[in-house]
Structure 1
Amino acid sequence: MVRAVPGWLHIVGIVFVALTALILLAPLIVVIGVSVSESQFIAFPPNGLSLRWYQEVLSSNAYLNAAWISIQIALLVTLMATAIGGAAAIAIHRRQLPFSDVLATVFLSPLVLPTIIYAIGMLMFWSSVFGPVTPLTLALSHTAIALPYVVRTTLAVLAESDPYLEEAARTMGANRLQRLWFVVVPQCIPGLAAGAFFAFNISFDEAVLSLFLRGPTLTTLPVQIYGQLEFSPDPSVAAVSTIMIALTIVLIFVIDRMLGLTRFASA
C-alpha cells in the first residue's frame, strides 16, 4: 500500500519550487523594470516609468545593424544545423554509417568543450588558412555548437518512433528516398523543431564566439550589448534584453501553435 506524502514534505516541495521560480524569474523582472526607467543610469527599482530607452534602441543604427546581423546569422545557423543534425541523427539511429557510436560522441562533443577554447582555435585556424573572418566564419562556428542540440532532440524522437511504419511503406512499394521523406522525416518533425529552436537561440545569444570572430563590420547584438555595458552603460541594454526575451516568448508561442508544447517538450 502506498503511503500518503507527509504534509511537511509537501510544504518543502512547494517552497523549493517557489524559490527555484524566484531565482529564475527575478533577474528577468529586474531587467524589464530597468528598461522602463526614466533614469540615465541602471537602477532598480526604476525611478519613474518611460519608454524612452525602447525608442532609443529602435532608432539606433548600431543596435539595429547588430540585430540584423545576428538574425541573419541565426537563421543561416538554424538551417544548416537542422539539415546536418537531422541527417546525422537519422543515420546514427539507423546505424548505417561505420562507427555510429563514435560519430554520435563526436556530434555531441561541443557540449563539453569550453566555448572560449573553441573560439580561440577557430580564430587561429581560420586566420591561418582562409584569412580574415567573415559572416560565414561566424555562422559555421555557431553551427558547430548548435549541432548537438539538433542531434540530441532528433535522436530522442526517433527512439520513440514506430519502426514498423517504414517497413509498412516498404511493403507498399515505397523506395528508400520515399520512405525517408514521407515516413521518417515527418516522425522527426518535433525533434527537428526543438533543435531548430535551440539552434536559433544559441546562435542569436552567443557572445564568446562572436567576440573572438568579430570584425569591423561584423558586430552581433550580444557584442554590441557588451560594448555598451563596458563603455557607457545605460538602461538601453535592459531594453534590448527585454526585446530578446520577448522574441523568445514569441518563438515559443509559434511552436505551441504549430506543434503544441507537449510534443515540443517530449523531444
Structure 2
Amino acid sequence: MTGMPTLASRVVLALVLTFLIGPFVIIILAGLSAGNSLAFPPDGLSLKWYLKVFTVESFQASFALSMFLAVFGTLAALALGVPAAYALNRYDLPGAETVRIIVAAPIIVPGIIVGLALLRYLVVPTGVGVTLALFLAHTALVLPYAVRVVSSSLHNLRADMEEAAVLLGCTRLQAFFKVVLPNIRAGVLAAFILGFVTSFNQVPVSLFLSGPGVRTLPIDMLAYMEITYDPSVAALSALLAFLSVAIVFAAEKFLGFSRYV
C-alpha cells in the first residue's frame, strides 16, 4: 500500500507541471493582449488577435499548404510504410535489421542535416519545384513513424489468423485486405495521426526547402515575426497547440494512442 505523497514530492510535481504547462499559459494570455505588441503579462484582454489570425492572407495560404503536406504526405508514407512493415514482420528478410535502421534514419538524424542534404542533392541537381520537394521531404520524414507504429500492430496480431484465411481459399493479397488490414486499422489510424502532427509542425526541413511564396505555416510564422511583432503569432500558436492537443486526446480516447507510441 502506498503512502500519501510527501511535501517534497508534491513540490516537485508542481514544478514539473509548471515547467510543462507554463509556456502554453503564457502564449495563450499573450495572444489575448489588448495591446499592439507581443508582451507578457498582457496589456489588457481582447480577442482581436485571435480573430485577426483568420484574416492574414499569408497564414491562410501557408495553412492550406501545411494541411496538404500533412494529409497527403502521411497518406503517401502509409502507402509505403504498411507494406514495408508487413514484409519486415511476416517474412525472414535478409538484412531486415539494416532496413529498419535505414528507415529510422530521418528520426535519428537531425532535421537540419536532412533538410540541407535534400536541398543539396535533390532540389539543386534536379530542379524540382518547391512544393514537390516539400511533399517528398515530409513523406520521408513521416515514413519511419508509419513503419514503426504499423509494425507494433502487426506484432500483436496472430499470424495464424491470416494463415487460416489462406487455407480457406483466400490469396495472400485477399487475406491481407480482408483479415490483416481490418485488424490493424487502429494502428494505421494512430500512425496517420502521429504522422499528421509531425508533418504539420515540421520546421528544420521545411526551412531549407521553402521558397518565395511557398512556405509552410511554421515557417510563415517565423517570417511574420521578422517584420511584425504583434500578438497574432501568439494567438495562432495557441490555436495550433489546442488543435494538436485535441487530435492527440481524441486519438487516445478512441484508439488507445499510447499503445502504439
Structure-1-length-normalised TM-score: 0.89
1:78 aligned onto 2:78 = no
The whole-number CA distance in structure 1 between the counterparts of 2:242 and 2:205 is 24
Tell me which residue corresponds to 2:146: 150
Give 1:126's match in structure 2, choosing from 122, 125, 147: 122
The whole-number CA distance in structure 1 between the counterparts of 2:160 and 2:10 is 43
Tell me which residue corresponds to 1:95: 91
Tell me which residue corresponds to 1:137: 133
Cα deviation for residue 97 of structure 1 reads 3.9
User: Aligned-pair RMSD on alpha carbons?
Assistant: 2.0
Contact 1:150 1:191 in 2 (8 A): no
Please list the CA deviations of residues 130-160 of structure 1 after superposition, one character each: whole Å capped at 9, or x if unmatched. 1154211101111111111111111112221
Give the 5 Å matches for 1:1-267. 4-5=1-2, 7=4, 13-95=9-91, 97-252=93-248, 254-255=250-251, 260-262=254-256, 264-267=257-260
Contact 1:133 1:214 in 2 (8 A): no
The whole-number CA distance in structure 2 between the counterparts of 1:66 and 1:203 is 13
Please list the CA deviations of residues 99-158 of structure 1 after superposition, one character each: whole Å capped at 9, or x if unmatched. 222111111121111111111110011233311542111011111111111111111122
Cα deviation for residue 171 of structure 1 reads 2.4
Compared CA separation, residues 214 and 113, structure 1 to 2 (3 A):
same
Cα deviation for residue 28 of structure 1 reads 0.8
Structure 2 stretches lacking a partner, 5+ long: none
The whole-number CA distance in structure 2 between the counterparts of 1:265 and 1:227 is 35
Further displaced range: 218-227 or 39-48? 39-48
Cα deviation for residue 217 of structure 1 reads 2.1
Cα deviation for residue 7 of structure 1 reads 4.7
Contact 1:110 1:144 in 2 (8 A): yes
Q: Aligned AA for 2:259?
A: S
